[in-house]
Each structure stands twice: as C-alpha cells, then as structure tokens.
Structure 1
C-alpha cells in the first residue's frame, strides 16, 4: 500500500442479510457512522415496535439530522431477526441538497403524489407503475413501515388521502421540518450535544483528511462547533467546503447558503400570524412567554397561539422552562438557526420593528413601576399583584382596564378584563379587578360575586388583598359595615399596613367602636406620608367628629361633645396650617368646629361651666377664615349664632359671631371697598418663588400678590401654603390684588 495507495484487496465482503424487504439508501454518514443519537434510535425503535401510534414524525430544523436518524432506525428494524416489519419502504421527497459549492437541485425528485407513490411500490416490484389504490392492494395484510423523508417539500401531497387509502397494517415514519398535524406523534429532534458535535467534527476531518483542520487546537474546534450551532449538516458542509479550498473563517462568518437551505422554505410558507410572532422574537432578542407576545403584538390570544404552533411545527422556535423552581411557565425563543437566519437574511418592516420595540419599552417601564408598588405593599387599586413572571402580561392588561375605567368607559374596561381572563383564567387578580370595575360602574351584585370568586382563588396574602377591597365595597356600596369589618380584620391581620389600619379603623368608628378605631388610625397619622397621611388625617378628624356627635345624641354629654369636637378640629387645622390643601379635610374641620360650638352651647344651656371657653373662642376666631366658604360653612355659621344667643355666652362669642357674619358675605361686590379699606386676614393657598395667591371668602378666585406687595420683601421665604396673612386689597386692570401682605401673628 505504501508503493500503490490505490491498491485494494481482491476480496468481496458479503452483504449483510436483512430480514425485511427494503429499499433503504446508503446513509451519508458512512464515513463517520451516526454520532450521538443512540438514545433517540432506541426510543424510536420502541415507539415503532409498539405500534400504538401509526404515524411517528421526526421534526426539527433543517440540518439537525432527521434523515440520518430515520435511516438508522429503519436499517436496524430491517436487520432485526424478530422481523417486526416484513417490508420497509423508503421514499425521499427532498428536492435540493447542500454541497460544498452551494445548494443544488436533486434531479428526478418527486414533484407530486404520484411521484412519491411509485418509489414505494417499486421496492416490492421493480415494474410497479400504479396508482395509490394499486399500492394499497400490494400492501394488503403486510406489516409495512413506510418512511417519508422531507415530507414538507411536497406542497400538493395530501397525507390524509394516503393514510386513508393504505391498509391499517402500515406504520409510518416521517421526517419533516413542520410536521403533518392531527395524525402524528411528533418526535422533536434537538441539536447534538457539544461532545457529540466535537466527535463528529473530528471524525469527519480524519475521514476526509483535511490537513488544515487537523492542525486546529481542541479549543478552536470547540468554538467552531458552537458557531456552527451543533448542526450535523452544517458541520459536514463546513469540512467539505474547507476540503474544496474555501477559507474556514469566511465560512463561519458567512453562512447564508446554509441558512437558506435550512430555513428559507419553511420561512416563505409562514402565515401572517406566524410571521408576526417570529418578527417579534427576532426584534426582542430574548425568550418571552406567549402572554407577553399577546400584549406586545396587540393581537388576539388565538392568533398568537396559532402562529406559535406553526413556528414550533416548523422548528423555528422552541419552548423552554424559566428555570425557576415550581414555575410551570414556558418561554418561547428562536432556535439558533432561525436566529442566525434572521440576523443575516431577513430585513423586517421598520414600522413593525419600531412598534414592537416601543411596546416592549412601555411593558418594561410599567412592570418596573408595578413591581416597586407591589414591593411597597401598596393597596392602591391600580397595583396588580402577580404570582410570578407568568402573570406579568395579564397584570398589565388589568392595569390598563383600571385606567380605562377611570374615564368611566366601563364597557371598554370590561372588554380588557375579558381579554385578561382568556389569557389567565385562574388568576385571582382578574376577578379582583373585575369586582372593582363593576362596583365603580354601579353593578354591585356582580361586583360582590367577582370579589368572592377572587377571594376563593387567592393564596393567603392574595385573600387579604381581596378582603381589603371587598370590605370597602360592602361598607360603601352595600352599607353592610358589619360584614365589611370581618373582611377588614382578615386584611389587617395578614397585611398589617397603614391602609388596612385606616380602613378597619374607619369601619369600627362607623359602628361606634370609637376608641378601637382611633387607636388604629392615630399611628398612621404620625408615620404616613403623602396621600395616605391625608386620608388618615381626614379619618381621624372624622372619628372624633362622629364621637362628638355620639356624645350629644347617645351619651347626652355636651362637655364631651365640645372636647371631642375640639380634638377633631385641632387635627384638621394642624394639617391645613402645614400646607395640606384638601376640600374634604376643610369640610371635616368645619364639621368638627360645629360639634365643638354646639357642645359649648349645650353646656351653657345646662349651666355647665367650660374652663377657658372665651380664650378658645378668640383663638378659633383667628383661624375662622380657613373655614369660611367650605361646603359645611352654613352649619358652622348657624352653630356660632346659636352660641352667641345663649344666656351666659362669653363676650368672645359675640366677636366670633361678628367675624363669621362678615366672612359670610363672601363675593358681595358692594362690600369690596370695605374690605380694601383695612387689613384683613386670609390664607396662602399657592406659593411660587416670586408670587403667590391668598384665599378669602370675598374673592372666590383668590387674590394674587407679588414679592413687591409684602410689607417686608425679605419675609417671602417665611410664607408657605397654609400660612395666615394680613393684607389690604387694591383694584387693578386685572382685578383685585392683595397688597401690604404680612404674616398674621
């Protein structure tokens, strides 16, 4: 052999005797053998031998090794002495192949049903040239395995026609990039393991004696199989192309022809829903859930699911777990080959790409905000909680429903909730939001049903959240405060946050458990901030006002009425003086003052002495302007008048009555001159660095003042919203304006 490398021994090796008639081709992997598919071979042989599923389809992306696997399985079955099949009939529907010099058409490839049928019959009878019915007659009563390779390439082949025509004794093994649908049991074939990819590369390099590749280090070879996506076809193409003289680096960088061969035929047959899903996955460049695709593409659930199923059948996408323990959610991602195809061979519609990117940005921003609010255990209605990442898309739909309902478009809001329900029917927040929106729309009975459904579905913390909202619905809309307390206690026991404390405190106050309610609300007033602090202040002031009314009506104790009314007033005024501008809080202060004044009048009527009543009335007179013009001002004005008329009323009651009478004549244009003639007291309601506005009942539109209008221009920094100021009024071309403004002492 050293002298003549072409020498061959003059010995003929006997052909291996098969136990079944077959027309199986010689495999293309003869040089290396089938690498890394032993488990798959055995699994498929077991499936075919059991014959529980008449159609087994090996699916996977182009070049993954479906044909090689099918040939190996069929060959082993043909060589099995147990003769599970009497005949194994092979026909390839492949119409092109990938060579070192590019994609080439296969001469004589089957083009239609007849072209696919004839090779099957000729395996039994070389002269067969009949129809499908003739083939059915030939196969009658035989245990036959029919193997169709690349079934998807024949667009006109109706597999159902073939399946119905051939005898039930026929079993089918099919390779296809897209599958055939209802008849089959799919056997998805994944990429080779890295160790098997390296072995295939090394074996093929040795078999082809490609010296330039034999010199590569093991690390470089590992990088090559990674760049070739562990695809047997692409690894083989790479070695053959290098053997033909092409540059390895150039081949790895430019795989357009490989990608065209593996993906193009499937890609071009996609429906629009499938293409849109594929485009979204390409633009996003990350695994997503099917629910996220519904949200980002703004499509119906059935459209997205249909597109996904088509892509999975075409081996362009795959599903994978999140890796989170206990999370059953599956993520959808492009296969490596599909990803490379998009990166190199597809130009997407820029409008579609921008729309998807914009929606994804919005999605991330909203989710970040939602997660921060949920982490803070906020009980604002707009905050939708999630059980895990799988609920995030549904949460965003529900959030949008809540936003839409704020504009009173309840029909549109309920449509969004229905969309969320179809996406995630067992998610308790769907029912919680449904209950909230229906209650806002006046559908109280339906809201109750939805809330109770949410409560039944939720876990412990979720139940507590639902209980919080259900308690509010029962108390405010159905006036069932006793039932509301039961749910409010559950919410506060589990969550123990400021919102639940204030809510339960309010319900207890409404059922006359005043001390228990106040004990819950008072700590919130000290610690809370923002809107919640304002709600707590109003609630605490209201609690003392109700308690004062209870003292008058039930306890017949005007002294307690006076004390509790003053306590509620002090709480409200302290907030107003601190700069809180809120109509309800001002009304509550007015009602508390009314209770205090009525309690004082009751004491006088009962000849009960109230120490320091005159001094308190004078102090109250200095802040009376804060309450003038409030919605509850008329009741306070009447109470002040009653106190003034009581026998034994202090002189301060007369001064308070006169001031109230003066303030009550708000908006009287004939008295504008009187107001302007001397300094009066008003309340700063708006401040800017160089100017502000003052509230006074005679001027419903508020009075403008500038830094230059201050008696002491340097005192601007001492003023803030809520400060009482003395001022005069001058008429200008733009209307009345405050001047000689100074802080009231």
Structure 2
C-alpha cells in the first residue's frame, strides 16, 4: 500500500502519465519490428481517430501520440498483437482487457478534479499498472524501478496534475462543472436521439418543471443521453447555468466481460452536499456540522441565477433525505434525473425508448469498425437489421454483444441467448428491479410475457386475477419502473378510448425464465388464458347466431367479450340458486369492462326477477348512460317495468325503443304488447302483424313463434273485450284468428311450452264462447281438443281441468246424463294418476 504524503490525485497522475508514456513507447518499439506495413496492425477506427487530430497524416509515430488512452488497448488486442506483446500464459487476454478498462476509469477519475479519487483508487491503480507491466514480453525495467521509488521515496517523483491534462477531460467550459467523461465516445460515439434531445432541452428551457426524470429500462441510454444534453447546453450556451453538478448513484456497470461493481459518487445526503460545495469552490472538509453545509448550499443557490443538478441512477438511492432534497428543491435549481423507477411525484417524466432502427444500425456499424470486426463490417443492411432488432435496438445490448464478439464469441449464439435470465444483459437490466416488485406486479409481468401482442386492461386484469385496487397499484409501479408500456388507443367499434399494455421487449425472456420457476402460477395463468381464448372464439360464433343471445351481449372489444363470459357465469350461478355469487360475478365483469352497458342490463334483469326493483332501475340508468341509443336496453327496461305492472313506464321505454328502431320485429312486438295491455288492441294488432311479416322467411324460427304468440295473446284479450260487450261474433272472429296463429306456432316447434299453453287457453275460451252462443256441438269440439292433448306440465293439467269442468257444465245444460257419467269416470282416472292433492290444486 502506498503511504501518502501528497494528494492522492497527484500520485495517481504521476503513475498513469508515466505508464501511458511507457505503453506508447513499448508499442512503437515492438510493432515496428514485426512488419514494414505497421498500419495493418492497427484497427481502422483507431487510425481514423488519430488522423482527425493530425490532419490525415498517416505517420505511425504521430498517430500513436495523438490517440487516446483507451485506443492503446484496442491496438494491443487487435489481431494477434497480444500474443506478441504479452505473456498470455500469465495474463489472459480477457484479464488484460478488464484491467485496461479499469485503468481507463481510474484515469478519468484523476482527470475530474472536482470528482473523487480515493486512496483505495490509488492502490488499485498501482496494482493494475504493475500487473500490465510485469507481463510484457520485454519488461521495461526502468518503469518498474520508477514504481518502486513511488513506493519508497515518492517526494522525488510526484508532480501536480497539470491543467492541460484536466482540460482534455472536463472540457474547459466557462461554467463551473464536474461533468464526467463520456464513455460512449470510445464505444461507437453518441448516436441519434435528436428528437429526445430537442424535447428535453425544451423542457429545461421552459422552466415549467424543476424536476425532470428521464426514465427507461437499464441499457436504453439514459445516462448517455443526459450527458450529451448537458455537454450540448454548455458548449452551445443553450441555457445559461451558473453551475452544473453531476452525481451518480450507479453501483455497477455492464462490460463485455460481465457485470462489474463500481464506486458511486453519491451514497448519502451528506455526499450530495459535499459535491455541491466542492464544485462551487468550497472546501467541504472544513465544515463541522451537516446543518452548516445545508445553510451554505442554500446561500450559494440563492446567489445564482440558475443551477443544474444531475442525479444519475436515482433508483439505487436509499437515503430518504436525498429524495426530500429533490422534492423540496430550491427555486433556482433544475434537477435532471435518470432512473429506471422515477420519483412518482412532482417530476415531469420523460420515457426513453430504444433507438430507432436506423440509429441502431449506424451504432452497430460504427462499433464494428472500431473493433475491426471484419466479417460483420461486410454484412449487408438486411442482416444487420435482423441483429439489431433481435436485441430490440437497445444501445447497451448492441455494445455488449459486439464486445463479446471482439473477444471471440459467436454473435448468433449471443443474440439467441440474450433473453436468458442468466445472461449478463438480462441480469444487469432487470434483476434488481424485478426482485423489488410486489408479488401482484410480478403476476402481471408474467401474464404479459406469455402474449406476443398488446393486452387490453380488462383482459390483463382478468387473467392476472387481481381486484381493481391492487391491479391499479401494480400497474402504476410497473409503469414507474419502465418495464411495461401503456398505450392509449381508440376502439374502432365503439369509439371509446382504451388502454393497451405491452412488455418491454428485452424483458420478455427474463420474465419468462422467472415464470418457469413457478409451475403452479404458470398453470393458473395459462388456464385463464385458455378461458379467454375460448370466450373470444365463442363470441365470434355468437355474432352469427341469434343476436340477442346471452353469449353475445353485443360485445365488440376483447374486454367486453371477457365481461360477457363473466355475465354468462353469473347467469349460470343464478340459475343454480347462487344469487350472491352471481352478483360478485357481475361486479367482476363491470371491473373488466366498466362502460359495457349490456352487463348492467343483464344484471338489472336478474335483480328484477328477485323483485329488487330499485336496484334494477339503478343498473338500467347506468346502462342507458353508456349506451343511450341501444334499443335492447330500452327494450329490457320496458320488460322489467311490465313485469312490475308499471305499464305506463313500460310503454314509455318501449316507445323509446320503437323510436330508435321502428323496423325491428322484437321491438315492434314489445311495443305492441304494451299497447295491448293498455287496451289499444287494434294498434297492437297492426304492429304485431308488421313484425310478423318482417320475421317470416328468416332462418331463425324463434322470432316467428314469438310473433305468432304475441298476436294471439292480443287477439285473445281483444276477444275478451268483445265478449264483455256481448259482441260474440267479433269475439269468435278474433279467437279463430288467434287459434290459427297458434296452430302455426305449434307446428314450428311443438315443444315450445308458452305457445302450447296459449293454444289450449284459446280452445278453452272458444269452448265457453260457443257455449254462451248456444252452439253446444262446437263448444264440445273445442273442450275435447284440450282433453285429448298430453298433460305433463302443471299448467297443462290446470287447463285440462278447466276443459273437463266446461264439458261437464255443457252436458248438464243439455241433460246428457250418460255423457256426464263418462266425464266423471274420466275424472276418477285423473285422480288415480295425479293424486287427490294435485286435483284439489287444479280445482
């Protein structure tokens, strides 16, 4: 360990500058001995970088002196240079790359005079430089002696960091700042994002929001974008800041050698204050109390016109005082945050998506040139497009894959396995965020992972099996951490705005791998998915069937179709006697599709059956609110009122349905029935016959049966009115027409109970009418038709009993005693068949 008598940064500069000089000399000497055409031993990207600084002079010595530190590594690992320069049996090429990357970061720390370069950093620097040098094929003994002197008598060698070393790193802006070196400069440069930059700079200029959060998944390029924006603002003087302060809570980074831990510059609230004071030229070590630091920071901010504070990687911060500092930010500050999670309050959130396809292709090509990946450089755009889309155009994923290829990995295997939960890219981007999620949020993610297409809110809620409150809280947390993407869309069928959710593309494979570990949960989700799929298929079939069937309900969206399925479930539960369970199913259907009027309608019908008239009206009010032009709703409401003997209300609702669709045979029938109940028999008859004519010839005979039955019922009541007025001829005329219509209905379907009962009732009415008209033979014929009919249902037995009584009365009037005995005998057989108790009920 180095014993410090000077500033650690000065020690560090002394070592790294001498090491860099030694390494350049080593490359110059060794490579010149290998070939006459030394340029063949240097990557094209490195040559281009050097030539840009020396006006295209291709002299190797000049290029070597004008390239950056990181380029030295690229030369050493290029082609077979490494085995000629280093003893690979002692220092593996991968280890060499790892050490050189670490040295580059340490060099950046030294160059950032307003950042932190610790004693631990200095010791790491010494050890890593030593590891590089002792494994050279031709060891530089002078440099090793130099390192030894640094350990023993450093005062003879240590020198202060010169300003020109600093100016290359912090960019000599007029504004006080500690912005870091842009590491993307050595990994393909900064590509694209012009639209994003323009929007974010505009937000900063407007000053409408003091806190702006750039959110997005790990690896999408949040930090790089913000750093590029800040450099643009300072270089072009877009916004006049007095000071720009950069702090980072980043704890690890992804390189092509794996996930590496790094030391964050921000771990606590006090470190935040220290950095602010340091950048603004104050010695934070001279402060005794935290309060005095807070006071001076506020005084400094008061003295400024505007200060920009950048907090990188907010999601790893656990000190609540930092969050409170942001929430209660000074009026003179802009705070620009990068985070996978965000604050969830006070911030203006900007969601950063993946690169555009063209930008991703450009980045791919640039990195290939820099790393001299010859075969990939030669690929046509179609192949490269395939590669970048397989990694979802994520800049970090592109860099990671190509970095792996540069050390000998197969690109196809890398890309095929990039979604595996064990891959570095998946772990780096998602592992921490996923582990912090609630169980319910994970269920939603797992559900989305099994669907390639976007899912509507209702479908997602049903499959994840969560109640409204928990679902909304879970969705909010997932959007906050940028793992799912909400999208507003307008449904073409009903013109309503709905929300679709999709899973962040790069997340899918990782989440699927997590789901594979939970077989029970996976089976539950798949079972509910199957139910949804079957429901949607059934809904499509239902549209081709009777249009008012329960299985259809007029559902258009997938949410409505699932809600319709739950309504079917509710109906089945109610039929089985489980009223309370049916109510819960209806509530769940409403949660899935809260604006689906048909659910309210069907629920109201169930409540009306229970004689819960107020509840039924309340539900119908909601149905009308969401679909005021829906004929079926007004029709159903009219039916509910009719059953509750609210004839005027029923007539009003039927009238509304008739107004909306005067050519619908079901509407015509219902409206006509209301007229019939009000004694408007002739108007009712006209409308019913109009409905009948509309229904004839159609493949669905159900409408015909309903029409014939409705006409007959109206004619039966009309005949009763004529009978009451002693106009037996007109009564007979109406009953005969009614009988004819019911004969047609029974012929269509002799198993239809309602038409069968009405047919017999009309025969009874005709029998009594003929008896009153003294046409006894005709009366007997009608009574006997009823008696000869099969009697299985209770209502049929009741009508049978009335026919027997009518026939007895008829024979008594004619003094046909033998016929009376026969009827009595028939009655005794009935008693034996159905029992005395049933007969008493019939009478």
1:431–1:453: 8 Å Cα contact kept in structure 2? Answer: yes
**Structure 1 counterpart of 2:771, from 579, 601, 618:** 601
Given the superposition, is the C-alpha separation of residues 261 and 510 from structure 1 closer, same or farther in structure 2, using an over 3 Å criterion? same
2:213–2:349: 8 Å Cα contact kept in structure 1? Answer: yes
d(CA) in 2 for partners of 1:296 and 1:132? 51
d(CA) in 2 for partners of 1:338 and 1:656? 90
d(CA) in 2 for partners of 1:101 and 1:382? 57
Q: Does 1:211 align with 2:382?
A: no
Alignment of 1:31-430 (within 5 A): 31=186, 32-81=188-237, 84-107=240-263, 110-125=266-281, 127-129=283-285, 133=291, 134-135=293-294, 137-138=296-297, 139-141=300-302, 142=304, 143-163=306-326, 167-255=330-418, 256-322=423-489, 324=491, 326-344=495-513, 347-373=516-542, 376=545, 378-380=547-549, 383-386=552-555, 388-389=557-558, 391-421=560-590, 425-430=594-599
TM-score (norm. length: structure 1):
0.80
d(CA) in 2 for partners of 1:619 and 1:81? 104
Given the superposition, is the C-alpha separation of residues 475 and 83 from structure 1 closer, same or farther in structure 2, using an over 3 Å criterion? closer
Given the superposition, is the C-alpha separation of residues 63 and 654 from structure 1 closer, same or farther in structure 2, using an over 3 Å criterion? farther
Q: Deviations over 1:285-310 (max 9, x none)?
A: 43112222222222111111111111
2:559–2:592: 8 Å Cα contact kept in structure 1? Answer: no
C-alpha displacement of 1:515:
4.0
Q: Deviations over 1:414-465 (max 9, x none)?
A: 44444555565554335434432332221223423432443344242x1x11
Higher mean C-alpha displacement, 220-229 vs 488-497: 488-497
SS of match in other structure, 1:49: helix
d(CA) in 2 for partners of 1:166 and 1:362? 51
Higher share of residues assigned strand:
1
C-alpha displacement of 1:155:
3.3
Given the superposition, is the C-alpha separation of residues 665 and 568 from structure 1 closer, same or farther in structure 2, using an over 3 Å criterion? farther
1:600–1:643: 8 Å Cα contact kept in structure 2? Answer: no
SS of match in other structure, 1:162: helix
Higher mean C-alpha displacement, 524-533 vs 241-250: 524-533
Q: Which residue of 1 aligns with 2:121?
A: none
C-alpha displacement of 1:120:
4.0
2:214–2:349: 8 Å Cα contact kept in structure 1? Answer: yes
Q: Does 1:18 align with 2:187?
A: no
Q: Deviations over 1:564-609 (max 9, x none)?
A: 43444454456556762355444323321221111111111xxxxx
d(CA) in 2 for partners of 1:383 and 1:112? 60
Alignment of 1:324-723 (within 5 A): 324=491, 326-344=495-513, 347-373=516-542, 376=545, 378-380=547-549, 383-386=552-555, 388-389=557-558, 391-421=560-590, 425-460=594-629, 462=630, 464-477=631-644, 479-495=645-661, 496-519=663-686, 520=688, 522-523=692-693, 524=695, 527=698, 529=700, 532-554=703-725, 556-572=726-742, 576=746, 580-604=750-774, 614=777, 617=780, 621=784, 624-626=787-789, 630-646=797-813, 660-669=823-832
Q: Which residue of 2 aligns with 1:28?
A: 183
2:175–2:234: 8 Å Cα contact kept in structure 1? Answer: yes
d(CA) in 2 for partners of 1:590 and 1:182? 73
1:290–1:304: 8 Å Cα contact kept in structure 2? Answer: no
d(CA) in 1 for partners of 2:742 and 2:642? 24
C-alpha displacement of 1:269:
0.8
Given the superposition, is the C-alpha separation of residues 499 and 617 from structure 1 closer, same or farther in structure 2, using an over 3 Å criterion? same
Given the superposition, is the C-alpha separation of residues 282 and 108 from structure 1 closer, same or farther in structure 2, using an over 3 Å criterion? closer
C-alpha displacement of 1:83:
5.4
C-alpha displacement of 1:199:
1.0
Q: How many residues align structurally?
A: 660
Q: Deviations over 1:69-103 (max 9, x none)?
A: 11011112233446521111111111111111111
d(CA) in 2 for partners of 1:165 and 1:526? 76
Which stretches in structure 2 are left out of the alignment for 5+ residues? 1-56, 68-163, 839-843
SS of match in other structure, 2:250: coil
SS of match in other structure, 2:308: strand
C-alpha displacement of 1:151:
1.1
Given the superposition, is the C-alpha separation of residues 583 and 45 from structure 1 closer, same or farther in structure 2, using an over 3 Å criterion? closer
SS of match in other structure, 1:634: helix
Given the superposition, is the C-alpha separation of residues 232 and 640 from structure 1 closer, same or farther in structure 2, using an over 3 Å criterion? same
Higher mean C-alpha displacement, 590-599 vs 31-40: 31-40
Given the superposition, is the C-alpha separation of residues 170 and 109 from structure 1 closer, same or farther in structure 2, using an over 3 Å criterion? closer
1:192–1:230: 8 Å Cα contact kept in structure 2? Answer: yes
TM-score (norm. length: structure 2):
0.71
SS of match in other structure, 2:409: coil
SS of match in other structure, 2:345: coil
2:269–2:322: 8 Å Cα contact kept in structure 1? Answer: no
